[in-house]
Amino acid sequence: MSETAEQIRIYGTVQGVGFRPTVYRIAKTLGLRGEVSNDGQGVLIKVVGDRSTINQLIEKIHSERPPLAHIETITRHPLENANFPDFIIAASNNNTVCTQIAPDAATCSNCKSEIFDPLSRWYRYPFTNCTHCGPRLSIIKKLPYDRKNTTMADFNLCPECQQDYSDPLNRRFHAQPTACHVCGPKAWLERADGKPVSADMFSMLDDVDAVCTLIQRG
């Protein structure tokens, strides 16, 4: 069967929700070649393969989209001069910005399990998040949604978080706010005299909890 090349655009809430890795995983499974990237309008896919397989890609993008994603429109156009040896996730392009960013999302069940697992790196870490949950709108300074454009830019990833962030099959692949006890933001509660309430890093969650209580009490 002869091959065809297409440029596919996906509009909606498609940035910062794990969309690129999902497209990457589906395209690799289907044996398609091309690239997926974020730009100011949403997600841009350039793909080479036979037409029926590209149709399957579109179907699976709908059926397997990440939990926080919302697809508004998908457009397809023929692509000239496409030559890709493999399928890759390409760097974001900066241009006119008119896409939507997901609101902050409550901690997902996977992250919750890690917070309660004493053997996990995220044990009792209050800022645990992944591509399916965590902060979005509240940390973004400008689009496209990449770590360098968020308030997380000042927190350098530790080697373990960097590894998760770079692995397309990891739940934290390109999870822009990903963080752990070693490299992420810290929180602590101080008494009026400046003395800390808690002593060790595993108490951080108690401090955050205490602040919630204080706010609730007015």
Q: Which residues bind Zn ion (CB under 5 A)?
A: 108, 111, 130, 132-133, 158, 161, 180, 182-183
Nearer residue to Zn ion within complex by CB, 10 or 108: 108
State in angstroms the smallest separation of the CB of 80 from Zn ion: 40
In this complex, which beta carbon is closest to Zn ion, that of residue 91 or of residue 182? 182
Q: Which is nearer to Zn ion, 30 or 183 (CB)?
A: 183
Of the pair 25, 112, the CB lying nearest Zn ion is at 112
State the pairing for strand pair 33-39/87-89: parallel
Least spacing, CB of residue 156 vs Zn ion, in Å = 9
33 or 132, CB closer to Zn ion? 132
Least spacing, CB of residue 192 vs Zn ion, in Å: 32
Least distance from Zn ion to the Cβ atom of residue 27, Å: 24
21, 12, 127, 9: which is closest to 66 by C-alpha?
A: 21
* Smallest gap from residue 144 Cβ to Zn ion (A): 21
Q: Find the shortest distance in angstroms from Cβ 195 to Zn ion.
A: 28
Residue nearer to Zn ion on the CB measure, 124 or 132:
132
The Cα 132–Cα 105 span in angstroms is 8
Three-state SS string over the chain comes to CCCEEEEEEEEEECECCCHHHHHHHHHHHHCCEEEEEEECCEEEEEEEECHHHHHHHHHHHHHCCCCCCEEEEEEEEECCCCCCCCEEECCCCCCCCCCCECCCECCCHHHHHHHCCCCCCCCCCCCCCECCEECCCCCECCCCCCHHHEHHHHCCCCHHHHHHHHCCCCCCCCCCCCCCCCCCCCCCCECCCCCECCCCHHHHHHHHHHHHHHHHCC
